[in-house]
Amino acid sequence: MHEILLATGVEISYPEDSEDEEDSLDNLNFVLKAIRGGWVVSSVEGFSTHVAAEEVRLLLEELRRNGEVDRAFLFELPEEAYDVFGKVVNLGPSRRYLAAARLVTTREEMESWLGTSPAGGAHLDLSWKPVDDMPLHVFFEDWPKTSLGSVERDIREFEAVYGVGSERFRQGRERGEAWIEEIEDANRWFALLQAREEFASES
């Protein structure tokens, strides 16, 4: 609480009974990670995008052709704020990055909507789900960034613990090889590899 006060000026008091404050506890941990490193790895079960008719047609064509549609997503938000035990903590602008998500909305739903001849300004909400439980990266512009060096150190630790290089690990994960399931830290390791690419591109 004191760390958040010093960093943001928001004074937060821990409630006497926190049994019903699970969301606030999650938000507290999220805020602490954000102000300490400017980068938070989070999980997301699914999300939706608001898409115009022409884009729906293009996605539908790809879905018919390939049987599935995968996309990387980058969302830029002008401001993110979190409620922590009744106090709002503003973390400023952010970029949310997800390396791969798969279209969940079915061909039938898309065809049915297009069949109504939607007006020019009409949009369809499409549902997406992360591929292989891929994590969401949230980068905060107003907070000190996790250094590329610290990410590299964590990656080297995983390589030493599991006795395999990161490139071999990445290939095994992409191919769905069975031995990847035995790596408890697989999602964290993969998230670090994604973050390394992001940080390297900014340097």
What would the pLDDT profile of 157-198 be if each residue is shown by its tens digit?
889 888 999 999 999 988 889 999 888 888 888 888 887 887
Residue 203 pLDDT exceeds 80: no
pLDDT band at 83 (very low <50, low <70, confident <90, very high): very high
pLDDT band at 20 (very low <50, low <70, confident <90, very high): low
**Confidence at residue 19, expressed as pLDDT on a 0 to 100 scale:** 56
Round to whole Å and give the CA distance between 44 and 192.
17
> Is residue 89 within 8 Å of 81, Cβ to Cβ?
yes
Q: Which of 59, 74, 192 is nearest to 127 (CA)?
A: 59
Round to whole Å and give the CA distance between 192 and 146.
11
Mean pLDDT value across residues 29-51: 90
Q: Which of 1-5, 122-126, 170-174 has maximum average pLDDT?
A: 122-126
Mean pLDDT value across residues 37-44: 86
**Confidence at residue 186, expressed as pLDDT on a 0 to 100 scale:** 85
Mean pLDDT value across residues 52-64: 95
Q: Is 81 helix (H, G, I), strand (E, B) or coil?
A: strand
Residue 124 pLDDT exceeds 80: yes
**Confidence at residue 6, expressed as pLDDT on a 0 to 100 scale:** 83
Place of tokens 């789900």: 129
Place of tokens 């993969």: 190
What one-character-per-residue DSSP string does 137-175 give? EEEETTSPPPPHHHHHHHHHHHHHHHTS-HHHHHHHHHH
**Confidence at residue 31, expressed as pLDDT on a 0 to 100 scale:** 93
Q: What is the CA radius of gyration of the chain?
A: 20
pLDDT in tens, 127-167: 999 988 888 888 888 887 776 777 888 888 889 888 999 99
**Whole-number mean pLDDT of the chain?**
87
Residue 100 pLDDT exceeds 60: yes
Residues 6+ apart with CB under 8 A from 52: 122, 123
**Confidence at residue 18, expressed as pLDDT on a 0 to 100 scale:** 58
